[in-house]
Chain A
Amino acid sequence: MSNTPILQVENLSKHFDVQTGLLRREKKTVKAVTGLNFDINVGETLALVGESGCGKTTTTRLLLRLQTPTAGQVRYDGEDIFQLKGAALKSYRSRVQAVFQDPWSSINPRVRIHDFVSEPLIVNEKLSSSEVDRRVHEALDAVGMRPQDARKFPHEFSGGQRQRIAIASAIVSRPRLIILDEPVSGLDVSIRSQIINLFKDLQAEYGLSYILVAHDLATTRYLADRVAVMYLGQIIEQGPVDDVFDAPAHPYTEALLSAALSADPTEARTEIPMNGEVPSPLNPPSGCAFHPRCHRRLGAVCDVKSPTLQAYGPHHSVSCHLHDRQPTA
């Protein structure tokens, strides 16, 4: 694992204006994500975990430049991606790719596999058609599909095969970073393990970096090197996956892990009960956003003051008043 970041996210925020009320007169702001800071290094996998509505998806859409941020920057090779134009943008587009959750909806049913897989090449690079063919075959081969599959249409494949095809399209332009948005949660157990293995193999072979968005913690543990736990649009804990999973610092991470069911009947499980549900991002709680559900609530400080992300261990940071006075190691 190299320490050169390929993507640096600085203070990234995205807020949406929503009109509510009887006459839609009241304007409210949904803070989808606020003040995100993280890096992704070459060959590394960073996982974003959290419940639905925590801002994972918005983050990926920002990184993919499908949306523009309210504030903050995303630097790719030192340049803010939201300022990229022309050739530089094309370069970013072909170097950063994505794989989505639903293998049924992420492939255009009307397009042949060849055309689907080759699209990132066609729109970003000027290659001869034979070169494109070669690259498509190479990519299909890498994901375990046959070259003759390129002539077929998506409906001729099963879900697992479609996900392989989606991955082929993501790697065809030889990207450096792939954003994996719940890439296995729509797959059957036996297929899921194949795809997880495939991701690991591709990473090893091409030195890819991944940003993984997942709600399945076990999958995250298998794929990720580092993990960022998000709650209501903010990162509340970040660190190496084993550290975080073995010794979660934030009560939310703790509760999240305790809720996950292990596929081992012998393993003892102590579930930490969380009160209620995730609050609406329209009306986020004051102070620490997690305080109404927190089982380790300290008192008034949690209700009033929002904690900041601070170092907790080596490469491990957390945003919680519990650890306010702890010295940085």
Chain B
Amino acid sequence: MTQSQDAPLLEVKDLRVEISTKAGSFFPVNGHSFSVRSGETLGIVGESGSGKSMTAMSLVRLLPKHAARITQGSIKLNGRELLSLSEAEMRKVRGSEIAMILQDPQTSLNPAFTAGQQISEALRLHSPGPRSTLRARAIDALRKVKVAAPEHRVDNYPSELSGGMRQRVVGAIAISCEPKIIIADEPTTSLDVTVQAQYLRLLSELQQETGMGIIFITHDFGIVANLCHKIVVMYFGRIVESGTVERIFARPAHPYTEALIGAVPKLRGHKGRLRTIEGQPPIPTEPLSGCPFAPRCEKADNRCFNELPPTVDADGDGEHLASCWRVLEQ
């Protein structure tokens, strides 16, 4: 794991996204702060509805129109504030500086265009060139993501490709413009384990080659443990814990993180009863005081129900933050 020590590539501070619905408004992204350095992989972990994907989309400023908007915070890419860019400027950033790999390879490729057309479209937008060059570069990109016989595949329609192949094409689109950051939103969920392993290895290799930063959004602790350098754990729109992978797996500070890790079946070792987290996450639009995890927390006391816990430095070195009253007490 190479980890560069220079200034963060991407720095997010106190980011907040508001969603307005008829039933009321709420914050799926609520005061996020995190950073990614080049060559670094940040994992954003959380269960359904925790706001992971919303975080990803807010980074490229592609939230659903009308319904959602960024209300506060700052997103700096290489020191440039993304939130103050015009839409046209932002469009130049997308694809070329920040790329994205979406969840479902079945649906994230346009069925009406060939793989090559879809790759070269991104290329043309950010570094135009003649058609033949674009094609050659598209084939190059496919070769980079280890697609066999790229000069044939380039003319295939998505329907003619297997799931793993499609996800590679999506990857090729993402890396084609050599972005600084790739946001990968659960890119392997629908893939077989073997294909998943190949794909993740590919991402790591590409990262080592280019030094790009990766933000990996997932609910799979296996991926987090194997791929990421740092983790952000989300619960109900908030970051409840963040830090390096080693620390969090070794000494989870937040009861939620701890329970989650305990709930994952392991490949080796003791096969006892798995830990469970009883109850359901709160309803977003209903008023809430205190820690949102309190109703499901085994260790919650009165204060947890009434006051929102502050974010505290769990290990005292600024590398491991958690938002829990119990951490403060320790």
Q: CB within 8 Å of B: which residues of A?
A: 51-52, 158-159, 188-190, 192-194, 196-197, 200, 215-219, 221-222, 245, 255-267, 269, 271, 273-274, 276-278
**A276 nearest CB neighbor, chain B only:** B148
Question: In the assembled complex, which residues on chain B have CB atoms less than 8 Å from the CB atom of A52?
Answer: 163, 192
Does B165 make an interface contact (CB < 8 A)?
Answer: yes
8 of the cross-chain contacts (CB-CB < 8 Å) are A193-B262, A193-B276, A197-B273, A259-B198, A262-B226, A263-B264, A276-B148, A278-B192
B165→A222 contact, CB < 8 A: no
A159 to B259, CA, bound (A): 19
Additional pairs, 12, CB under 8 Å, beyond known A51-B195, A260-B197, A264-B266: A51-B193, A51-B194, A52-B192, A189-B260, A218-B222, A218-B267, A255-B194, A256-B193, A256-B194, A259-B194, A274-B198, A277-B195
B266→A218 contact, CB < 8 A: yes
Q: How many whole Å from B152's CB to the nearest CB in chain A?
A: 14
Across the interface, B193 reaches (CB within 8 A) one of A158, A215, A264, namely A215
A267 to B275, CA, bound (A): 20
A157 to B197, CA, bound (A): 34
**B45 nearest CB neighbor, chain A only:** A189
Does B261 make an interface contact (CB < 8 A)?
Answer: yes
A196→B274 contact, CB < 8 A: yes
B267→A245 contact, CB < 8 A: yes
Question: In the assembled complex, which residues on chain B have CB atoms less than 8 Å from the CB atom of A260?
Answer: 193, 197, 222, 267
**A259 nearest CB neighbor, chain B only:** B197
Does B201 make an interface contact (CB < 8 A)?
Answer: yes
Q: How many whole Å from B258's CB to the nearest CB in chain A?
A: 12
Q: Give chain B interface residues in 263-304, CB to chain A under 8 Å.
A: 263-268, 271, 273-278, 280
Q: How many whole Å from B225's CB to the nearest CB in chain A?
A: 4
A277→B221 contact, CB < 8 A: no
Does B162 make an interface contact (CB < 8 A)?
Answer: yes
A261→B194 contact, CB < 8 A: no
Q: Give chain B interface residues in 165-212, CB to chain A under 8 Å.
A: 165, 192-198, 200-201
A193 to B276, CA, bound (A): 6
A158 to B279, CA, bound (A): 11
A193→B192 contact, CB < 8 A: no
Does B47 make an interface contact (CB < 8 A)?
Answer: yes
Q: How many whole Å from A159's CB to the nearest CB in chain B?
A: 8
B192→A215 contact, CB < 8 A: yes
A271→B245 contact, CB < 8 A: no
Question: In the assembled complex, which residues on chain B have CB atoms less than 8 Å from the CB atom of A262?
Answer: 222, 225-226, 266-268
**B221 nearest CB neighbor, chain A only:** A263
A188 to B193, CA, bound (A): 18
Interface size of B by CB at 8 A reads 46
Does B309 make an interface contact (CB < 8 A)?
Answer: no
Q: How many whole Å from B294's CB to the nearest CB in chain A?
A: 16
**B196 nearest CB neighbor, chain A only:** A259
A266 to B263, CA, bound (A): 18
Question: In the assembled complex, which residues on chain B have CB atoms less than 8 Å from the CB atom of A190?
Answer: 47, 259-260, 263, 276-277
Across the interface, B221 reaches (CB within 8 A) one of A189, A245, A276, namely A189
Q: Give chain B interface residues in 107-135, CB to chain A under 8 Å.
A: none
Known: A265-B225, A277-B162, A277-B165. A221 touches B249 (CB 8 A): no
A140 to B259, CA, bound (A): 26
Q: How many whole Å from A35's CB to the nearest CB in chain B?
A: 23
The 6 closest A-B pairs by CB, nearest first: A261-B222, A259-B197, A263-B221, A193-B274, A193-B263, A190-B277
Known: A52-B192, A197-B273, A263-B266. A188 touches B225 (CB 8 A): no
Q: How many whole Å from A193's CB to the nearest CB in chain B?
A: 4
Question: In the assembled complex, which residues on chain A have CB atoms less than 8 Å from the CB atom of B249?
Answer: 263-266
Across the interface, A221 reaches (CB within 8 A) one of B192, B271, B273, namely B271
A262 to B264, CA, bound (A): 9
Across the interface, A259 reaches (CB within 8 A) one of B193, B250, B259, B280, namely B193
Question: In the assembled complex, which residues on chain B have CB atoms less than 8 Å from the CB atom of A51?
Answer: 192-195
Does B158 make an interface contact (CB < 8 A)?
Answer: no
**B223 nearest CB neighbor, chain A only:** A261
Question: In the assembled complex, which residues on chain A have CB atoms less than 8 Å from the CB atom of B260?
Answer: 189-190
Question: In the assembled complex, which residues on chain A have CB atoms less than 8 Å from the CB atom of B219?
Answer: 188-189
A222→B274 contact, CB < 8 A: yes
B275→A193 contact, CB < 8 A: yes
B245→A265 contact, CB < 8 A: yes
**B247 nearest CB neighbor, chain A only:** A265
Does B164 make an interface contact (CB < 8 A)?
Answer: yes
A300 to B225, CA, bound (A): 40
Does B48 make an interface contact (CB < 8 A)?
Answer: yes
A261 to B275, CA, bound (A): 19
Does B315 make an interface contact (CB < 8 A)?
Answer: no
Q: How many whole Å from A328's CB to the nearest CB in chain B?
A: 29
Question: In the assembled complex, which residues on chain A have CB atoms less than 8 Å from the CB atom of B222?
Answer: 218, 260-263
